Structure 1
Amino acid sequence: MDEDLTEGYSEPCGQCGNVCWGLTDAEQFFCKNCHNVIERTKDVVDSSTYSANNRISHFPSGTRKRNGRGGRKWIVCEGFQFILKHQAEALVGLGVCPEFKKKVLWNFWMRYLQKTRQAYTKNPRITNGSPGDITSDSEPESLALNESSEASLPNRVSSALEDSGNTSDGKLSVCSGSLDAAYYSFAKESKSRHLMTMPRTLALCHLALLWMREAITLADLLRLVSKRHVPYINVHEHFPEEMKIFGKDCKFFIAESIPSYRMVHREASLLAKVMELPTFPPVSQDCLLHPALLCLRYTMDANLPDELHLLVCKVMEKTAMGNDFFLTFDPAGPKQRLPCYDLQAAALIIVTMKLLFKLDDQTEWMLSRKADKRREKHHMKKKTTTGSKMFSLRRWYMSVQPALESAREREEQAEARQAWKSKKPVVPNLKNKTLVLKRRRVVEQLQSNFHTLTGSTMEQQPPAPSSFLFLWGTEEGADGPSLHHKRLAFLMEKKGRARCLVNRKYWHPALRLCHPRECREHFLELESSLPRMYVWLLGLFSFLLGVSQAQLHGEVIQVERRLLRGKGMR
């Protein structure tokens, strides 16, 4: 096909000397051997004139005049607004209440624009694509928090820049990008004005989900993003054609990695204070964000006995982590921090496991041998009593460890197969345009050849989202036998009228309070001295939540501080 279009042009390539020309998407000639792009273009017949041989041979090497066809004026906020719209639609498609997009997230977004004085205010900070000259602070206009505010997503925000332009002839340049990219490029301005970033789009969605008391925790949200159920990676590919990304826009909208749990949580806490949000609705006992229900979910996913949940609830009562004051988030409150409901639930389970088995690399195996002997004794007597249903931590470890390793391998393989680079090339500047397009063609050709050789498909649909990572039972494809029905009665003993734990001792690292600004995570310093079983348990739940072991260890320390000191601080 290219031979027919390039017929008649037999000049050798200036780099390799071969005569093997093809056409790019922009109808420019390029060498198929070395991928060198020249300025010659395809012959074009102009039907608007009477001359049949009128054609364009090449573009002049001087300054090219830009026109406004195919683009329109837009600002950075519109790009982030478009991203938030698609993220909200994806979450609603996954089962979130439709009011999440129309009433909560949209109102949060308008409030953010107003508080940062980017829109919905009499005196915006951005005017004509640059920081405005602000001489006096004006009172912001009242927000119209209703469904009609969402009628036109792009047009409401860009009113401040409606009369601005960036070309000498009054027309918008197709490759000029956003109008206020220069303002967003200043790191000092971006930090002081709390301008929007890609991680902050997820933080805003997380705050809206918490306000709606949806069952999607921050760990679930990041996992949905990693599985491409929620758009984030290369979401700029879905921008409308009239919104051209060019130059400095690349570092605003191109995301080729997923932010960490800690980063999104920190950004969410900051946004809640910047927006001056009121106290969040309380998390009641029937809410799926309550620690009691989250602990039940994580014990099922970790294949732990159902009886463990009762003991976890007792630990939750002792630490007062189920109280409304502890679970309710007030951004304006003193010493208040955004609760990590999922991390706190996992920490409660780990502390309960330490209370039952001590997890010092000795006591838990001694109790496992004790349970195995009782089970063998009852098996020999052919009795189906509670002895045959006793929970053995050793058997639990032997069933969960292979499943955990397989799940980690699947995660690594899935991550390796993901396309992190954008399929739609974005030109950072006109000087590098030829190089960017050449690299994109080489990558596409190599990918096509690789998939042809391996016989694999280039596009793979992501698996259906699930709240559980493991499947326990006798079904086909299960990760192992279910231990939910096992009993923990042998770990309790009667002492008078009360029932006490067989394990009488509890170990913990130093629980001293550190200065928030000077304290650093001590897990890396303590990791070599901590019991291996405890570190393995941290690894299990950190994999379930997609967080680091150090961060989960810090939450365990917070629970232990509240448990052992009676009254703890949030």
Structure 2
Amino acid sequence: MEEEDTRGYNKPCPQCSEINWGISDEGRFYCKSCHTIIEKTKDNEVSEMIIGRVQSISRGLRTKKKHEKGWEWYICEGFQFILLKQAQALQTLGVAHQIKDEVICTFWRRFLQKTNQAYVKKPHYRSNSSIVSESQTSHSEGDSELEAFSFSEEEHTDTSAGLPTSGNSTSAAESAVSHLSGSVDGSSYMKRSRRGTVKMSMPMTLAFCYLALLWLRESITLSDLLRFVFEQHIPYLNIEQHFPEEIKIYGPDIKIFKVQTFPEYNDILKKSYELGIFLDLPRFPPITENCFFHPNVLCMKYLLEVNLPDELHYWTCHITKLGGFDDVHYLTLDPARRRTKHICYDVQAAAIIIVVLKIIFALDDETEWQLSKTSEIKNQRKEEKMLFDFREWYTTIRPCYEQAQQMLEGELARFLWRGEKKLYYSHTIKQQLQKKKQMSDNLRRQFTKLTGATADTGKKSPSSFLFNWEEQNTDRICFHGHSLEAFMQKGKKTLSAANANYWLSSLKKCRAKICKHSELYEESLFPRSYHFVVSLFAFLLGVKHCVIHHQVCLIEEHIYQEKYKGKKRKSKK
């Protein structure tokens, strides 16, 4: 009798995924494998437990439920909520508490004023009285979590700005556009664009965060910020998971808030400078030698990261000074200054290290291996200080780099672009998509059980370092304390490199109006050692090879200007 009653119920157990049901004395279904009791009973009511939430479906006549409408919200409120969550995440990572209430909030209010959305006498929300009435702009404290993003308690209750607030009561505006978009102005936001204005988008939220980090001179570079986004320490991917249930996202809202690609370094950097100019920001706090964004500090960080000798820091400081990259006026961002250059602080530091390696070891697939033989012979004599061996460094760091690269590719392949909270372009296909999601979840659960794959343990702990070189680890050699004395020539006042075979990465400067120089990097045209070092730093910073190579060319142009001119004269003859 029990088998007949349970024969028609073939859904797996939410605890162990087994299909082995029994009926208790109370008439409830329970799993015979793990003894988990669910809400399904023997009578006609069909119900199931799905991850802590009960969904009941009664047999018989079914009436169509009326769509439950949530808060009346605007697109700018959605981005305000995202900036709030991102600022809180940065505070969790150790950034100063001023980043939320004093920096990002100031930038955001300035943006709302510049785009005529708030803090002006007549915002564009009030231009159409048929959509937004004066009663809708009245403040309702505590109705929405979006409104918690402010400087202080006094400004939290300010209504003179004209920013449309959220409320849990429906209105004519919502009913007029709810069939098109979850937000009030989702449909019009896709079309609205003014010349000379910056339109808010998901990548633009990261531009706000980067400008705030640069203003506070925190120890998080742009490459670190994008890596934390990929590791989901900072809300950006599948952002709909962070929105409250009362905020309904569908239709055009999906195109605005849903992200289908990872943010790119150059794109966020460009948007950050455009945002700084658009907001008319003043000159940023000066970047001195004590700041993290200074090249000397970043070079030391990346020398430790890629397991290179500490003595190379003397040469990186020399190149930084020789090229004028340590100038405070050059390093400090000033949006008001004309022709403001996009300074890639982390990429520039990596390029300086590559230029130093070329000065000492040439990286031409010949010189560095000959010098390695010299170091190997002298190290066999067991002198007091070990000499740096480029070949041994290469054989040590290459397996670590390849292993980290394989892990990254696996994470990219397993990344789920669809979150737990489903988004729908319309309510007509909602039920169909829900059934498909249920089937895919069941298949994924069964496949995971068959393959024996381990469950995801959660997020990785955030760290500014990808590689860790410890003296206690016997499998890896730490080269931080190795000497470069064998590769130096002692002059009267300073040291100079014994290698004189320096080759330029680019012989001609690109003078086109639309520069494509950064995209012209071919692996076959360069030595393997140089390509390996470029690939290592490109992986470390999460950028393309051409970005690192282009920055190396710019540094060489500053340092070897005479050599560039000589090559150019010969080419003309």
Query: Which TM bucket (shorter chain)?
Result: 0.7 to 0.9
Match of 1:12 in 2: none
CA distance in 2, matches of 1:92, 1:154: 28
Q: CA RMSD in A?
A: 3.5
Q: Which string of whole-angstrom CA distances, capped at 9 and with x for unpartnered residues, describes residues 301-322 of structure 1?
A: 1000000001110111100101
Cα deviation, residue 530, structure 1: 1.1
Q: Give the whole-Å Cα distance in 2 for the aligned partners of 1:567 and 1:160.
A: 62
**Shift of residue 395 of structure 1?**
0.8
Quote the offset at 1:110 in angstroms. 0.8
What percent identity do the matched residue pairs reach?
35
C-alpha deviation, 1:163, in angstroms: 13
Amino acid at match of 2:182: G
Shift of 1:516: 5.8
Partner of 2:482: 486
Q: Does the 8 Å CA contact 2:182/2:250 hold for their aligned counterparts?
A: yes
Structure 1 residue 145 displacement after superposition = 8.6
- The Cα offsets for residues 126-158 of structure 1, whole Å up to 9 and x where unpaired, read as 44789999xxxxxxxxxx994347737999774
Deviation, structure 1 residue 528: 1.7
Distance in 2 between the 1:345 and 1:552 partners?
Answer: 10
Question: Counterpart of 1:197?
Answer: 201
The residue number in structure 2 matching 1:183 is 188
What pairs up with 1:58-97 in 2 under 5 angstroms?
58-59=62-63, 66=67, 68=69, 71-97=70-96
The alpha-carbon distance between structure 1 residues 339 and 374, as it changes in their structure 2 partners (threshold 3 A), is same
Measure, in 1, the Cα distance between the counterparts of 2:425 and 2:301. Answer: 46
Summarize the alignment of residues 34-49 of structure 1 with structure 2, pairs less than 5 Å apart. 42=58
Q: Tell whether 2:379 aligns with 1:375.
A: yes
Between the aligned partners of 1:194 and 1:106, the Cα distance in structure 2 is 17
The worse-fitting range, judged by mean Cα deviation, of 228-237 and 440-449 is 440-449
Kindly state the Cα deviation for residue 536 of structure 1 after the two structures are TM-superposed: 0.7
Contact 2:347 2:551 in 1 (8 A): yes
Q: In the alignment, does 2:550 pair up with 1:551?
A: no
Q: TM-score, normalised by structure 2?
A: 0.80
* Structure 1 SS opposite 2:428: helix
| Structure 2 match to 1:504 | 500
Conserved 8 A contact 1:246-1:429: yes
Contact 2:181 2:253 in 1 (8 A): no
Change (3 A) 1:180 1:145: closer
Paired amino acid for 1:179 = V
* Per-residue deviation, 1:414: 2.8
Secondary structure of 2:489's aligned partner? strand
Residue 453 of structure 1: how far off its partner (Å): 2.9
- 1:358 lines up with 2:374 in the alignment: no
SS in 1 for 2:73: coil
Q: 2:222 aligns with which of 205, 218, 224?
A: 218
Determine the C-alpha separation between the residues in 1 that align with 2:99 and 2:480.
Answer: 35
Distance 1:265 1:6, change over 3 A: farther
1:565 shift after superposition = 2.3
Counterpart-to-counterpart distance in 2, 1:499 and 1:206: 39
Would the alpha carbon gap of residues 131 and 361 (structure 1) be closer, same or farther in structure 2, given more than 3 Å must change? farther
The answer as to whether partners of 2:282 and 2:334 remain within 8 angstroms in 1 is: yes
Distance 1:469 1:169, change over 3 A: closer
Report the Cα distance in structure 1 between the residues aligned to 2:562 and 2:267, rounded to whole angstroms: 31
1:257 aligns to 2:261 (yes or no): yes
Counterpart among 397, 400, 404 of residue 400 in structure 1? 397
1:443 maps to which of 436, 440, 444:
440
Judged with a 3 Å threshold, the aligned counterparts in structure 2 of structure 1 residues 149 and 512 are, in CA distance, closer, same or farther, namely: farther
Secondary structure in 2 matching 1:195: coil
1:486-517 alpha-carbon deviations (Å, 9 max, x no partner): 00011112355653211113111335443464
**Hey, what does 2:210 align to over in structure 1?**
206
Separation of aligned partners in 2, 1:513 and 1:369: 36
Aligned mate of 2:232, from 223, 228, 241: 228
Distance (whole Å) between structure 1 residues aligned to residue 42 and residue 280 of structure 2: 62
Q: Which residue of 1 aligns with 2:30?
A: none
Q: Quote the Cα distance in structure 1 between the aligned partners of 2:129 and 2:208.
A: 25
* 1:113 counterpart SS class: helix
- Counterpart among 553, 556, 572 of residue 560 in structure 1: 556
In structure 2, give the amino acid aligned to 1:245: I
Aligned counterpart, 2:527: 531
How far has the Cα of 1:59 moved from its partner? 3.3
Cα distance 1:116–1:171, how it changes in 2: closer, same or farther (>3 A)? closer
Q: 1:94 to 1:160 in 2, by over 3 A?
A: closer
Deviation at 1:474, TM superposition (A): 3.6
> Per-residue CA shift, 1:84-127, capped at 9, x if unaligned?
11111111011100111110011111111111112211222344
Question: Alpha carbons of 1:65 and 1:523: their partners in 2 closer, same or farther (altered >3 Å)?
Answer: closer
CA gap of 1:152–1:511, structure 2 versus 1, over 3 A, is: farther
Partner of 2:462: 465
Query: 1:413 is matched with which residue?
Result: 410
Residue 301 and residue 503 in structure 1: after superposition, are their counterparts in 2 closer, same or farther (change >3 A)? Answer: same
Asked whether the 8 Å contact 1:76–1:178 carries over to 2, the reply is yes
Cross-structure match for 2:302: 298
- Is residue 241 of structure 2 the alignment partner of residue 237 of structure 1? yes
List runs of 5+ in structure 1 lacking aligned partners: 10-20, 30-40, 44-55, 134-143
Taking a change above 3 Å as real, the CA distance of residues 160 and 511 of structure 1, as seen in their structure-2 partners, is farther
CA distance in 1, matches of 2:303, 2:172: 61
Say which SS state the counterpart of residue 367 (structure 1) adopts. helix
- TM-score scaled by structure 1? 0.81
Structure 1's 390 and 8: CA in aligned 2 closer, same or farther, altered over 3 A? closer
Kept in 2, the 8 Å contact 1:316–1:348? The answer is yes
Q: Secondary structure in 2 aligned to 1:554?
A: helix
- Shift in alpha-carbon separation, 1:172–1:197, aligned structure 2, 3 A: closer
Cα distance in 1 for partners of 2:429, 2:396 equals 54
Deviates more, 1:144-153 or 1:423-432: 144-153
Shift of 1:167: 5.0
Q: Does the Cα contact within 8 Å between 1:128 and 1:164 map onto a contact in 2? A: no
* Structure 2 unaligned regions, length at least 5: 1-5, 10-39, 133-148, 565-573
Q: 3-state DSSP class of the match of 1:420?
A: coil
**Whole-angstrom distance in 2 between the partners of 1:168 and 1:513:** 57
1:274 offset after TM fit, Å?
Answer: 1.1
What SS does the corresponding residue of 1:320 show, helix, strand or coil?
coil
SS of 2:477's equivalent in the other structure is: coil
